[in-house]
Structure 1
Amino acid sequence: MTTTVGSDGTYTLNLGTALGSLSSVTVTEVDEVTGDNGTATATVTPKKLNITSSKTAVDVYPGDLDSLTSDSAVVAWLVKQAGIVATNTDSATDTITYATQETGLASKLSALAVGGSTTINVYGKGSSGLQSDAKTITVTMRDGTLSLGTPPASLTFGSLTIPFKETLYQPTSSWNIVVNDTRKTGSTWYLRATATAMKSATRTLSGNLIYLNGSTKQVLTNTSVTVASGSKVAGKTATTATSDWSASKGILLDVQPSVQVDSYSGSVNWTLQDTP
């Protein structure tokens, strides 16, 4: 391409898309009167999207594999887990998508043994045609875990009238006991509960905390009872084990008519197991 130097000594060369894959550009200036000439060479630096990540390593659990069944699903999961963000500093409206040159990512993750790792390179692509460098993310397989969420600090049955006959009372709020499970789909869990006697400063309540399931009533005082059970559901890592509790199912307060007026309290101890 050629251009003419202006009287002010400046010039413009509009290279357009002619650079292609060139690594440098050389400009030659010629004085048409004297024939003197000189050259200058500049390195070509292609414009790229910026890319950052909040993490360079993430953990994957057996339960995650249920939804990671394609390369696109793995890339989307990695972008979220590692906090990958690509931006075009020249255009806030550039639409960014993410990809990787690698294939078979789902199979690669499924083949990992517990403690094994692999790396995946994710880059951003803009609707402008620009692309970012790749971010290398290390993915390590961890053993699935079964854990209990934080139970409510306290629950109350409110102020009750002494009944004329044995009566069951529900708490004034929900138990909301959450089971966290990152094991493989179908793995079972069992939630057990035991309770202390309900006492005041001077006496013991005439009654107990019980687990009711239809017509079956089990006393929890000093006895461990299975109050919920289930199994790992694909794509789900948290389950509210007490979501179906009602007036006919769940932990209730069983009060006898011989109860005396007082303020009573007790505690419930929870145990989460992977076997009955």
Structure 2
Amino acid sequence: MKNWRRRLVVSLIILLGLVSWDTVSAQAAASGTTGSASYTNTSGTRLIGFTGYTLSNYIQFSAVSANNVENNRVTKYTTEIYATVDSSYKVLNTSNFTFSKAYLDVFDPNGKSLLTGTPTYATVSGSKVTFPTTKQTLKVDLSKLGTKALQLPIYVGVSFTPTVTNTDGSAMWFAYGFGKFSGDATVQNALADVTIDQVNASDQQLTGTAEPNSTVSVTLTVDGADQTFTAVTGADGKYTIALGKPLTQLGNPSNVTVTESNDMGDTKSATASVNQSYPVLSATNSTLTLTPDDLTDLTNASDATVIAWIVKQAGIVAKDSTTNAIDSDATFNSTTSGLADKLAALADGASLSVPIGATSNGTAAPTPLTITITKDNGTLKFTSVSDTLDYGSLQVPSKTTLFAPASAVAVTIADTRAAGSPWTVTATASVLTANDGSQKQLNGQLMYVDSTGAAQSLTSAVPVASGTRSKGVNSVNVTNDWATQSNTAAKTGIYLQAQPNIYTGANGTTYKGTVDWSLEDTPQQ
């Protein structure tokens, strides 16, 4: 009698177009088992629809159950819902359109279908749809229950489309709920409050506390799409939700909401503001050259020493993202280890890319800098050679005489090789020829005189300077303090050896020639 009376009331209310509901209870079913679940009948909750399209008669369910229930409730492990349409209320009717197709469905609060299997279509006849009264198995995916992606209530109802289509020809789908699985306010209130530790925009994880052994989740919107990250709290209620990337790369939200949920979808949430102040790294040089001197300084150095060298050479600074102020106390780091050995192993011209991160005021920089270091074994080359070696106007001597040049000759070399690397400069002089067209050759030659006063003809190559590179010294004037006509104290230099009987023409003659300089990376023989 009690059941009959309840059905009679529902029938009358439907005819009046109002809303009513019944709660169907069952004996408690253990988790992982199939059984009835607390379910409330509703009278035509339209979840998705279009203006002007109405139903004049609703269906009703006589029984609804599910698998993997707990405490009379569906869970995130539920994969099947069993629904039986009441034989007295098995027809959907409409007065202003005709049906194309219809079937039983399961929805989230927004009318999104949760079915994973193929639906069983009802019998359509114009403006009437008749549903079978045998139990139907609706396969569903409730695995995200309790997250932003799937909240209670969950509706059981009907999806249908009329024969009329949208202007683009697509089907007009409707979603109506005729019953729902709801949350339990008592259980929800009993859940422990969610706490969230301080959140920085550079963080790659969220931490805090919630109900022990519950699921916690956060949903972030990245490029218009939601991404949900979950974790399970420990027995002490603590959680760590790994994000995989800094929040700055996950939509850079101004706040985050962490939601805890039990298996039945009861939830509690907390929201925390995101500290937008974080270090931003910049560098004046993103590519560095590793010289032999640098390599000497960094031999067997610790990673901290190498990182400090990179930071200094690259001009790396950490600036606050909100104030742009430089933090001179920022600490720098790298995910690459064994840096000194890796640099030493580089071949000439090879490069090593090193990511440099930083922490400022306890907050890590969300985006590291990549500095590329290229090894250069150094070079040895001339940087300048005087255009002229001038001996001025000379009187023809009565005997063989050596004359120093009128002005100093400047020959400099650049050497950036490893300390101790040898070098030798040699010189070769051509025959001096009169410049008056007579093609007369000078009765004499250019000679190199060393510091002991010993003279050598430059008709063939003669070493005139040699040495080894000193650390930190990249330039050498190899003719420094050579003898000139005004610097008679010096002995070393290139002298003009003049002999008697030099052709001078009628009023004196200019002689010209060339001196070839050669630089070699070998010691003087």
Give the TM-score taking structure 2 as reference length: 0.39
Structure 1 residues 80, 41: CA separation in 2 closer, same or farther (over 3 Å shift)?
closer
Residue 207 of structure 1: CA displacement? 2.1
2:518 paired residue number: 271
The structure-2 alpha-carbon separation of the partners of 1:195 and 1:44, relative to structure 1 and needing over 3 Å to count, comes to: same
2:282 is aligned to: 51
- Assess, with a 3 A threshold, how the Cα gap between structure 1 residues 125 and 40 changes in structure 2: closer, same or farther: closer
C-alpha displacement at 1:91, in angstroms? Answer: 7.3
Aligned to 1:254: 497
Number of the residue aligned with 2:458: 220
Cα 1:95–1:44 shift into 2, 3 Å: closer
* 1:200 and 2:448 aligned: no
Q: 1:229 Cα deviation (Å)?
A: 1.4
Once residues 442 and 470 of structure 2 are traced to their aligned partners in structure 1, the CA distance between those partners, rounded to angstroms, is 40
Per-residue displacement from partner, 1:59-101 (whole Å, max 9, x unpaired)?
Answer: 334354233344677556545765x354759578975888444
Q: Which has the higher contact order (CA 8 A, sep 6+)?
A: 1
- TM-score, reference length from structure 1: 0.68
1:119 paired to 2:365: no
1:157-196 to 2 correspondence within 5 Å? 157-196=391-430
Q: Which runs of 5+ in 2 are unaligned?
A: 1-196, 202-252, 257-269, 484-489
Residue 47 of structure 1, CA deviation: 4.4
Tell me, yes or no, if the aligned pair for 2:384 and 2:410 is still in contact at 8 Å: no
Q: Percent identity?
A: 34
Whole-angstrom CA distance in 2 between matches of 1:125 and 1:243: 51
In structure 2, what is the equivalent of residue 12 of structure 1?
none
Amino acid in structure 2 at the alignment position of 1:206: N
Q: 1:26 to 1:142 in 2, by over 3 A?
A: closer
Q: SS state of the match for residue 298, structure 2?
A: coil
Partners of 1:268 and 1:58 lie apart in 2 by 39
Supply the distance in 2 between the matched residues of 1:80 and 1:25 (Cα, whole angstroms).
34
Are 1:67 and 1:73, in contact at CA under 8 Å, matched by a contact in 2? Answer: no
Larger gyration radius, structure 1 or structure 2: 2
Residue 185 of structure 1 aligns to a residue whose secondary structure is coil
Q: Which structure is higher in strand share?
A: 2
Match for residue 22 of structure 1?
200
- Could you tell me how far 1:193 is from its partner in structure 2? 1.0
Q: Return closer, same or farther for 1:155/1:124 CA change in 2, 3 Å cut-off.
A: farther
Aligned residues: 245
- Unpaired segments of 5 or more residues in structure 1? 1-18, 28-38
Could you say what secondary structure the match of 2:343 adopts?
helix
Distance 1:92 1:144 in 2: 38
**Per-residue deviation at 1:139?**
1.6
Aligned partners of 2:383, 2:400: CA distance in 1, in Å? 33
1:26-37 to structure 2, matched below 5 A, reads none
Shift of 1:194: 0.3
Change (3 A) 1:183 1:22: closer
Alignment correspondent of 2:478: 241
Output the amino acid matched with 1:263.
T
The question of 1:146 aligning with 2:380 is answered yes
Mean Cα deviation higher: 70-79 or 163-172: 70-79
Out of 61-70 and 196-205, give the one that drifted further.
Answer: 61-70
Q: Offset of 1:185 from its aligned partner? A: 2.8
TM-fit CA distance, 1:251: 1.6
Question: 1:51, CA displacement in angstroms?
Answer: 1.5
Whether the 8 Å CA contact 1:64–1:235 is kept in 2: the answer is no
d(CA) in 2 for partners of 1:76, 1:157: 54
